[in-house]
Amino acid sequence: APISMVETIVNYLPEYRSDAHGQVQRFEIEDDGDFVYLDGQLVPDRRGKPFRQWRPHIKSANDIWDEISRVTKLPGVTGAPKLQPIETRLVMLRTGMRAPMGIKIKGPSLETIEDFGLKLESLLRSGAVPGLATATVNADRIVGKPYLEIVPDRTAAKRYGLNIADIQQTIALALGGTVVSTIIDGRERFDVQVRYAREMRDSIESLEETLISSKEGAMVPLSQLADIRYVRGPQVIKAEDTFLTGYLTFGSDPDHAEIDVVEAAKAFLQAKEDSGELIRPAGVRYDFAGNYQAALDFNRTLAVMLPVCLISIFLLLYLQNKSVTTTIIIFSGVMVAWSGGFLMLWLYGRPGFLDFNLFGINLRELFQVSPVNLSTAVWVGFLALFGIATDDGVVIATYLRQKFTELKPIGTEAIRAATLQAGLRRVRPCLMTTGTTLLALLPVLTSTGRGADIMVPMAIPLFGGMAIALMTMFVVPVLFCMAKERADRKTA
């Protein structure tokens, strides 16, 4: 198999020592906090302290990968992008590559594809593309695998009365072997294969001494009947859309979105072509491929689903209130929540956000505060936010409508008094609605297990949007009061 097919799987221990059921174990400690050992073993104690198996500076699985990448740096050796085993299979099914991003180079010959891929590799490794991890840039070395070629000499074979089939049969027997019998052991069958001993076929010199029997019984060395040599050939031949194909793979830095990196790399290579520094051979073309294609597909879907979602929410609110004005007032909660979601994303990118300790725990580390890209998970979180952002508005507007139907206030003072009375009665239900949602999101924001890389970005805009959505307790009554005062002035 070619080098590009090599996989390295890293299995790491859990952060704290656990039992067979995955429960964190606690062990006895001394007064100074050190663990107590008995016969070289830790002493279990339910009131003790969990034993941490990671080094002090390792805080997450990403830190483990960064540490491995740091200590395995060697001159002339490139790194590799980090992928989970199942994620690797999904990426391969989607793109054929073992990397989240890459370039597919198609051309008329493998040599041309390899040469052009090496040119792209040298350009991308220059560090001019922001967000691209230069250590992971690696183009396929397609041609370079040694092949043993045995080219029969037809004139020499004819001289000894041999044909090509005789020579090929002897070579197949000597190198590959042939099945001469079968061993039967109960229901099992084992083929008996006969071929030359390893020392008689492990070098060109040994193969040249292979004897071929002519029809007259003469034993002719293979060196007199064929030319034996090593040649350079392809490690693997890949083709897509009837074109020979080679891959150039790369990864991105943690703080950069894959789409942004691909767009930057595409613009960089196009600029090199326009300036003449990169010359594309005739018949060669390249296309970017990888996980970002799924993000592009989602963006196209999002362009349809986002307005459909907002329109559906608006229609449902209208069917309940039977008033466009009231519906718009309640719908304002979506805009308020939207701003809260983006505000929370902005705060997660600020260096000092939540950078303090509470009960000896650093909140920045607990909530895994770091810059968040606008990924698919984030937009899914926004879509979920739109569905629940109008809850407080519906609760307040419904009671306001009922209160105005009951009191039928006339005049500015009466309208404002009725609004204040109704608004105060709905403060507690709104706080309970928002509070339960925020409390339910806290375990998601602090999760670190499998799937956390998807759930945490999804929960961040939800949390920020619902926290800011409390403003609807003030926004909806004020807008509702303004609308009623305006209607009252028109009728006066």
For residue 3, the model assigns a pLDDT of 62
Residue 140 contacts residue 247 (beta carbons within 8 Å) = yes
* Higher per-residue confidence, 208 vs 2: 208
pLDDT tens digits for range 62-81:
788 888 878 877 766 666 66
- Mean per-residue pLDDT, 120-148: 87
pLDDT in the model for residue 4: 62
Helix, strand, or coil (residue 127)? coil
Quickly count helices (H) and strands (E) in the chain. 16, 17
Count of C-beta atoms within a 10 Å radius of residue 472: 28
Task: Give the pLDDT score at 371.
Answer: 84
Give the type of residue at 167.
I
- The whole-number pLDDT of residue 79 equals 65
Six token digits for residue 314 = 């608006």
Residue 280's pLDDT is: 92
Q: What is the pTM for the complete model shown?
A: 0.65
- DSSP collapsed to 3 states, 259-325: HHHHHHHHHHHHHHHHHCCCCCCCCCEEEEEECHHHHHHHHHHHHHHHHHHHHHHHHHHHHHHCCHH
Share of the chain above pLDDT 90, in %: 17
380-to-90, 377, 452, 453 alpha-carbon distances in Å: 21, 5, 15, 14
pLDDT 10s digits, 230-264:
888 888 888 888 899 999 988 888 778 788 888 89
Provide the 3-class DSSP secondary structure of residue 200.
Answer: helix
**Per-residue pLDDT, 374:** 79
Q: Which residue has the higher pLDDT, 450 or 273?
A: 273
Separation CA 129–CA 272 (nearest Å)? 12
Q: What is the pLDDT of residues 393-451, one digit of tens each?
A: 888 888 888 888 888 888 888 888 888 888 888 888 888 888 888 898 888 888 877 77
Distance CA(366)–CA(384), nearest Å, equals: 24
pLDDT tens by residue, 157-204: 888 888 888 888 888 888 888 888 999 999 999 999 888 888 888 888
- Would you say 381 and 303 are in contact if contact means Cβ atoms under 8 Å apart? no
Cα-Cα-Cα-Cα dihedral sign, residues 9, 13, 14, 15: negative
pLDDT-derived band at 274 (thresholds 50, 70, 90) equals: very high
User: How much is the pLDDT for 1?
Assistant: 56
Confidence check: pLDDT of 286 > 90: yes
Instruction: Tell me the pLDDT tens digit for each residue of 331-376.
Output: 888 888 889 899 999 998 888 888 888 887 888 888 888 888 877 8
Among 112-121, 215-224, 233-242, 468-477, name the one with the lowest average pLDDT.
468-477
In 163-237, the DSSP E strands lie at 178-185, 188-194, 211-213, 219-221, 226-234
379 pLDDT tier (thresholds 50, 70, 90): confident
User: What percent of the chain has pLDDT above 70?
Assistant: 97
Specify the pLDDT at position 77: 63
As a whole number of angstroms, the distance between CA 112 and CA 142 comes to: 10
pLDDT digits (tens, 9 = 90+) for 19-68: 888 788 899 888 888 888 888 888 888 888 899 899 888 887 778 888 88
pLDDT band with cut points at 50, 70 and 90 for residue 120: very high
From residue 242, alpha-carbon distances to 117, 264, 344 in Å are 19, 29, 49
Q: Average model confidence (pLDDT) for the chain? A: 85
For the ranges 84-93, 107-116, 243-252, 382-391, the lowest mean pLDDT is seen at: 84-93
CA–CA gap between residue 166 and residue 180 (Å, rounded): 18
Dihedral sign computed on CA atoms, order 276, 278, 282, 284:
negative
**Do 288 and 102 contact (CB within 8 A), yes or no?**
yes
